[in-house]
A = this chain, B = another copy of it.
Amino acid sequence: MATQKRVRKSPEERRAEVYGAARAIALESGLAAVTQRAVAERVGVAPALVTHYVTRMELLVAEVFRDIAREELELVRASVEAVGDDPIERVVALLRGLIEDYRRDVALIWVDGWSLSRRNDDLAAVLVEEARAWEGFAAEVFQAGDAAGAFHAPDPLALARFVVGATDGLSAQSAVWTGVERETVGYVLEAVAALLRIPAEELARASY
């Protein structure tokens, strides 16, 4: 509308603006909504400027996804580290991070990612990378507990894959529906306790 006076910023600053807008759009409306024009409008700039900084939109989408996913992982990693060295408490923190704290928008971003990665090779590569990072972290938590003799996890990576895959599904589910997160955590704790060959109360006790 307004023929606003054109402002000239440093490449770094502008790049950050473009990137931040793309990220915000992704979280609000999904990865598919991250278009050249949508980003440009949000920044308040001509569409051409977006491509000037971005080279390829597909790459921008992939990059946005990567950072959102990675940030989420680091958040969970931090909360696991925060609880200290007790293997069981670390598992509980991990599971809470996977379910309870899982933000609705982030869960939907993952779903978008899997769907879009069929047509976006850059995104597909990033997606696999980030999924492996999640698995790797979960595997570490399980492996450490097994080594310490706190529970039974002879194949930490396989267990991690299982737990991450299952909780991803649950997160997506509760992202679309609502009000079922509470009981979900209980089921997850109980199921994982069984897989770890420890009484369910052990996880439940550590969980408040």
Q: Which residues of A contact B (CB under 8 A)?
A: 29-30, 32, 108, 111-112, 114-119, 127-128, 131, 155, 158-159, 161-162, 164-174, 176-177, 180, 183-184, 187-188, 190-195, 200
Report Cα–Cα, A151/B193, bound state, in Å.
18
Q: Is the CB of A170 within 8 A of B162?
A: yes
Q: Is the CB of B195 within 8 A of A187?
A: yes
Q: Min CB distance, A122 to chain B, in Å?
A: 16
Count of this chain's copies in the oligomeric assembly: 2
Name the B residues within 8 Å of A30 (CB-CB). Answer: 115, 118
Q: Is the CB of A162 within 8 A of B184?
A: yes
Name the B residues within 8 Å of A115 (CB-CB). Answer: 30, 32, 108, 111-112, 114-116
Q: Min CB distance, A133 to chain B, in Å?
A: 14
Report Cα–Cα, A60/B176, bound state, in Å.
22
Q: Is the CB of A173 within 8 A of B161?
A: yes
Report Cα–Cα, A127/B187, bound state, in Å.
24
Name the B residues within 8 Å of A193 (CB-CB). Answer: 194
Report Cα–Cα, A29/B118, bound state, in Å.
8
Name the B residues within 8 Å of A128 (CB-CB). Answer: 176-177
Name the B residues within 8 Å of A111 (CB-CB). Answer: 111, 114-115
Name the B residues within 8 Å of A176 (CB-CB). Answer: 114, 117, 127-128
6 closest A-B pairs by beta carbon, nearest first, are: A169-B169, A194-B194, A115-B115, A166-B166, A165-B173, A191-B191
14 A-B residue pairs with CB within 8 Å: A32-B115, A114-B115, A115-B115, A128-B177, A158-B183, A161-B184, A164-B173, A165-B174, A166-B170, A169-B169, A169-B172, A187-B195, A191-B191, A194-B194
